[in-house]
Each structure stands twice: as C-alpha cells, then as structure tokens.
Chain A
Amino acid sequence: MSTESSYINYLEVLEMPEDCKSGEAIRAYKKKMKDLVIEIARVEITEERRSTFLLEMARLNAAYYILRDKDLREKYLADRAQVMQLEEEWHATVEKNPDSEDADRLRRSYDSVLRHFLSTYMEELMLEAGRDKECVEASHWDAAHERLATRVLRHYRQQLYREIHERLPYYEVTQPKINWDERKQVVAELLKVGA
C-alpha cells in the first residue's frame, strides 16, 4: 500500500530535494516547461493529448508556484504530512477495533483533511498558479487554458480521491466478500438474459 503516491509530491514533479532553494526550483521549472512546450508543438493535438498536456502544465505551474514561496512550501509540506499521517492512524485504529468511536472520529478528520488537501493543492492552487505572472510568461497559460483545465483538474482530483478511497477501510458499506469466480458466473447469466 503506497500512501505517498496519491498525495501529489511537487518536489518530485520538479525533481527537487526537500531543501531545494528557490533559484533551483525556478531553473528546474523553466527547463521542464520549455521541454513540455516543445513537445506540445511537435505533436498533433487530440482531445486526450490536450487534457494530458493541460494537466502536466498545471502541475508544473503549481509546483513552481508553491515551492518558490517559503511559507506556502512549508504549509504544503505540513498539510501533506498531516493527511498521510491521519490515513495511517485511521488504518491502525480500524485494524484494532473497526467499530470504535476513535475510528469514526479519525475517518471524519481524515476525510475533511483529504478533501481540503486535494481541492487546495490539486485544483485551486493549480489554477491560481496559472494566473501568476512568471508562470504565464513561461507557460503562456491564459483564460482559455483555465476554462479547459477546470474540468480536467476536477477529473484529476476525483481520480486521485477514488484511488485513495479504494485502499481505505470500508465505512459506507460493510466489507464485501467477493468471489470472482461466482461473479463471472453472474455476469455470464446476466448476458444471457434477453439475448
């Protein structure tokens, strides 16, 4: 179970160590953005590629926007650490006693912190970064990009939420006991009906 991978790591996006300086971040950002712009110009733009490029551009913008600002970087790293810790605590508590009040309390805290983390760092700040002067200059991000990116980012955030959700303890339903051989039979029978 990898808890790290679903909580976007902007240091990894720019391939920077945690103690990187602002100057290093800007160099890495500009180099990566330049490569991306060249790549965009090189290929034919399909709808799928447009979404992928928009997302990649938004990730780079956000990484630079967050990491260059000391306060914002610290807040981001602290929020990320908190959400990962809460997930671990919740897992541990559920393993001991799934019906305990503590488990329920942790679930609520985690869910609220997770939603905040995803909407702040994987949507709002990504869009905000796109309005930043330096990011606009490097990425040529404009109002049209923002309009298109709104849906792409919401989709991205929900995808990540779902990925995370799938490894969490069951709480909306009891844990199902799925027998996939039996499921295959059910599917076969459902296909026969009316055919």
Chain B
Amino acid sequence: MAKKAQPQKPPVAQDIIDACLASAVAEGDIVNFRFLFLSYSPLRNDSSEEITADKYAYLRTADTSTQRYADALARASVGEVRQWVQKQLDKNGPAQLPADLLLLLGDNAVLLGKYTAAAQAYELLRIRRRMQEEFFVQADAALDRNEIAQAVRGYLIATGLAYDYAAFPEPLPTVPDFHNKALILHAEYPKSIEECVALQPEENHLRTALSYLLLSPEAAARLQTRSLETLRAFVLELVRQRDPEWDLFVKQYRQSCEVMRELGEHIDRNNLEAGSLADEAAEQQQTRHPEEISEALLGRKIEKGEWWQYMKELAYNHAPAVLFVSRQAISKDLEIVVPRHRSDSVWVRELGLY
C-alpha cells in the first residue's frame, strides 16, 4: 500500500529561526542549540515537527530584554550566519554548527555558571584546554594582586571546564560529585581523634579543603607555594563561592554542636566502651537520641538513615560542610556524623562555625 503523503508544513520563518538560536546562545544552552540542528529539529522544513507547538515553547524562553539576548540575536541575524544555518537545516546529514554562535554560547555559559555547557562548546571548538589555562593564568595574576574573589572565581571556572576522557561511552565534562568525594574523604574510620579530617593542623586542613573543593589535585597544586595567609583567604572565599548558602549551614552546625553538648561530653569514643553509650545516653536523656546530632547538622531527619546517607546529603547541600564533621561510632550498630573542629583554627572561626 502506498504510504500516505505527509502534509507539507509552511517554511519556518527566519525570525523564528533567529529567535531560537539567539535564545540558546544567550542562555548558554548547548543542549537546545544542538537540538535545533538535529534531523528531527522543528526548524527543519522537512521535519514533521512544528516549532509553533506548545511543546517547543521552551526553545524560546530566554529573556529578550537582556544585552546577552540582543548580542546573540545580532550575531544570529548576520547574513552569512543565516545562510549557513539554512544550508545546514536543509542538509541531508549531520549539520556543521556555526562556530561564531557556539563561541558566544560558551562565553555566556561561563557567565551564567553553566560550566559543563561551556566545556562542551569549547571542546567542540577545540579551545577548551587553552581557555582553561587562560582562566588559571588570569586567576593566578588576580591572586598576585590580592584580588581573592576574582582569583577564586577563576579557579572555579577553570576547574569547571575540565573534561573526563575516561567517561563511558564518550568523553564528557567532569561534573561536581561532592557526594562521592565526601565519602572518599571519610572512607576510613579515624583510628584516633587526630586522624579526623576536621582536626588536622590548620595548614593541612586548608590543603585538604583546597583539593576537595576544587575537585582537582592539579589545580590545588598550583597554589602550593602560596603563603598560609593567602591560602586561608583563598579557601575562605572558595567556601563562600562554592556554597552560597553557607550561612544556613553555619546555623545548623551550631545547633548540632548545641545538641552534642546537651547529650554530654562522653561522645569521645576513646573513653567509652563500644555498645555502652547508646544505653547511657538513653538513660540520661530519655527523650533524646545521638542521631539528633546528625539530624541537626543536615537540617532534616533521614528515616533509618546511616552515617553515609547523612554525609552524602550534607555534601550535596553544602559541599564544604564535610570538612568540619567526622564519623562517630556510638555503639556497635550505630555510627553517626558529628560536628568537629579545632578551637585554635583561625579559618574555622572566620567561617563562623564557633
């Protein structure tokens, strides 16, 4: 039986094509941008998909009043670019994306903090590594000038542009995975209280924080030769930029310390026999349980939550938080996450944790 012919849709208007491209570029949205050129893109005249359909409204959701949108629209409306885009939309085969627009998309993605999108755009343009190095170089220069906030931003962008070439099945941008890194950081139960991450001498603690928060030992190594004061100022700013809701965590942390105090000083496992504290705590505080310490730290209760569940969620909500906690066995069946810090640590005090 002969296949029924599809009704021909009217050609997609040029202003719609421009608007869709400008929207993706202005928002640094690499996924939408690539989608517009796929074989089933609604911008293609030979596709049965209609760009005017409600389901594609998201392709034009950028705020048209911004300078970013105006710049992107101007770039997309250049005669040469329009011609190239149309040629690719009419082409029977994979499209070749216009580099000009992609470059602007990458820059906008950096501006908006969408570093993985920027990494993909720069990778396609084969400039990712050089851009990454340029961010590092300028961040180091900012640090030399004692412009800490700018230096931290540079390091965050540069590390955000990293690529994982061992990702399966294809290389992909490296994504922040603090929830996994936190478990690696606390993988071994500290044999003595001094082995706790949070109780290291300040300089060691700062270096651990640097590697963990930058997600890159190589990036952290670039700061090896900096003085303790510079390092401290850098990490303090890094904590704030990594976790804009740090002050909320500080409140939870202090509350957790309060709960811990109320439950008594005897949570020092070196002075207790395994299995006895839970009973003792239950006797002394009929209505309170050691788990409340972890709950206060996280700001919510996880039903039948294990220590590692609290740790993962804590790292997900407030990445730097796991640098100021430790695992604590309460009995042979119960381990919790508790706040820990050195009272002589300058940076811990400056972070408002005590």
Contact = CB atoms under 8 A, between A and B. Distances in A.
Contacts of B147: 195
Interface residues of B, number: 34
B131 A183 contact: yes
B78 to A, nearest CB: 13
A176 B150 contact: no
A191 B99 contact: no
A195 B135 CA distance: 14
B111 interface: yes
B107 A186 contact: yes
Contacts of B131: 183, 187
B149 interface: yes
B103 to A, nearest CB: 6
A120 interface: no
B98 A187 contact: no
Given A184-B134, A187-B135, A193 B96 contact: no
A23 interface: no
B296 interface: no
Contacts of B126: 165-166, 170, 176
Contacts of B157: 190-191
Contacts of A191: 135, 138-139, 142, 150, 153-154, 157
Interface string A23-67: 000000000000000000000000000000000000000000000
B125 A176 contact: yes
Dominant SS among interface residues on chain A? helix
A195 B153 contact: yes
Contact of A151 (B110, B134, B166): B166
B351 interface: no
Contact of B96 (A174, A177, A192): A174
Most chain-B Cβ atoms within 10 A of its Cβ — which of A171, A177, A190?
A190
A173 B135 contact: no
Interface in B123-142: 124-127, 130-131, 134-135, 138-139, 142
A21 interface: no
B99 A173 contact: yes
A187 B94 CA distance: 31
A79 interface: no
Given A166-B126, A194-B153, 14 more contacts: A159-B165, A170-B96, A171-B96, A173-B124, A174-B84, A176-B102, A177-B99, A178-B127, A184-B134, A187-B134, A190-B157, A191-B157, A195-B147, A195-B149
